[in-house]
Amino acid sequence: MRANNLLSPTESVTGLELFYDLVFVFALTRANFVISAQASDYNFVLALLLFVVLWCVWVSYSWLGSTVRLDSRSATATLMVSMAGLFLMALWLPEWVAGGAAALAFVGAYLLARATHLISLVALCRKTPSVAATIPWVVAGVALSTIALAVGAFVGGSLQVALLACVVILECAPYLLRTRNSWPISIKHFVERYELVIMIAIGEGVVSLGVAASRQSISMAITGYCLFAFAIDCLVWIAYFRILAPRVASAMESSPLLRRPVLARDVYSGLHLLLVLGLVLLAAARTVIIQELQHNNGAAWALSGPAAHYAGLAWIFITVGFVLIRLRANLRVPVAGWIAVLLAATEYVTATRLPILVTVAIALAISLLLIGPTRQKP
C-alpha cells in the first residue's frame, strides 16, 4: 500500500466501496430481523446498541475511503477481508444478544473487521500527521472494545448493557479528536457515501416490506398497507434527497476548510445514524404489522405494543434527525419540521389506542411535513 495517497476533491465513490455498502445492506436486514424478534425491552436495547457498533465499523471505512485511495491490490484485499468481518458480525448478531460461547463468534468477527481497518489506516495514512495522531486511540479503543464484547457475551442484566454502551463510546472516542486537527477528507466523496447509505436503508425497507408481505396470504388489507408504506418511503426519499441533502452538502462546501471534518463528523457520522436507525426500526415495525394484518380484519384494530413501539420510535428518530441535521449545518428549521417531531411523539404515545388507519394517516402526514418546505429557502 502507498502511504499518503490522498484522495482528490473531485473523486466519486468507487465500485469497491459500493460493494462494501451492499454488505452493509445485510447488516441492516439482520438488524431488522433481530429487532423485530425481541420480546423484551432489555433485548431491544441490546439489539439497537449492537447495530450502532455495526454502524461504527461502516463509518470507519467511510472516513478512510474519503481520505486515501483504496484502489491498490493490497488495499482491495484488506477491505474485502473487512467486508467478511462485517458480514459475519451481522450473521452472528442474534447470538451475542442471546449470550454464551456462540457469542464469541460475533466478537471474533468484530476483531477481524476492525483489525483490517487498522492495518489499512496505518499503511495508508501513517505519513499524514492529522490522521496518524488518532491511530493510537483507535488501537486502544479496538482492544478495549474486544475485551468488553467478550465479557459481555457471558454476563447479563445492566452490566451487559453497560459494557455494550462502553464499546459504543470507545468506538466514537477517536472521532472526537477531529475537533483539534484537520482530517483531510474529500467532502464530495464523503457526502456521497452517506447519501448512498440512506438510499440503501430506504431500499432495504422496501425489500423487507415485500418479503414480509410475500410470507403471508396476500389480502386487500396487506396490499393497501404496502401501498401506503411504499408511498411513505417515496416521500421520505424526496424529503432527504431533494430537500435536505442538497442544502446540507452546500453548507458543508461553504464552511471553512478547518471546520469541515468537524461538521462531517457531527452531521454525517453522528446525526445520520438517527436517520438510519429510524429506517431500520420502521422496517422492523412493518414486519410486525404485516403479521398482525394477517390475523386482524377491518380498520378499527390498533397496533400491538411492539409494532407501535417500533413505529413510534422510528418516526421520532427520523424527524429529530432531520431537525438536528439542519440545526448542526446552520440551516433554518421550518415550522413543518417541528410539527413533524410533535406528530411523531404523538404517534409513539397513542398508537396502541388508535385504529390502524389513523396511525397510518399520521405517518403519512409526518412524511408530507418533511417535504413541506420544498419552496422555502434554507
One-character DSSP codes across 310-365? HHHHHHHHHHHHHHHHHHHTT-PPPHHHHHHHHHHHHHHHHTTTS-HHHHHHHHHH
pLDDT at position 308: 84
Instruction: Write a three-state SS string for 211-241.
Output: HHHHCCCCCHHHHHHHHHHHHHHHHHHHHHH
Closest to 61 (Cα-Cα) out of 31, 12, 25, 16: 16
pLDDT at position 297: 58
pLDDT at position 82: 92
Q: Which residues contact 295 (CB under 8 A, 6 or more apart)?
A: none
Using CB atoms within 10 A of its CB, is residue 211 exposed (0-12), middle (13-18) or buried (19+)?
Answer: middle
Rounded-to-integer distance, Cα 225 and Cα 314, Å: 17
Q: Determine contact, residues 287/36, Cβ cutoff 8 Å.
A: yes
Rounded-to-integer distance, Cα 8 and Cα 77, Å: 22
pLDDT at position 373: 55
> Residue 186 to residues 13, 246, 258: CA-CA distances in angstroms?
11, 16, 13
Rounded-to-integer distance, Cα 88 and Cα 113, Å: 9
Give how far the C-alpha of residue 129 lies from the chain's centroid of Cα atoms, to the nearest Å.
Answer: 29
Report the alpha-carbon angle 231-196-371, nearest 5: 40
pLDDT tens string for the chain (378 positions)?
344 466 666 777 888 888 998 898 888 888 777 777 766 777 788 888 888 999 999 998 888 888 887 777 888 898 899 999 999 998 898 888 777 778 899 999 999 999 999 888 888 777 777 777 788 888 999 999 999 999 988 887 788 889 999 999 998 877 766 555 567 788 888 999 999 999 999 998 999 899 888 888 888 888 888 999 999 999 999 999 999 999 999 998 888 877 888 889 999 999 999 999 999 999 988 888 888 887 765 554 667 778 888 899 999 999 999 999 999 999 999 999 999 999 999 999 988 888 888 888 999 999 999 997 544 444
Closest to 233 (Cα-Cα) out of 369, 367, 374, 32: 367
Residue 65 DSSP SS3:
helix
Rounded-to-integer distance, Cα 374 and Cα 187, Å: 24
Residue whose C-alpha cell is 386482524: 296
Residue 184 DSSP SS3:
coil
Phi, psi (rounded to 5 degrees) for 68: -130, 160
Q: Give the end-to-end CA distance of the chain in Å, rounded to a whole number.
A: 43
DSSP lists the bridge partners of residue 6 as: 68
Rounded-to-integer distance, Cα 226 and Cα 208, Å: 11
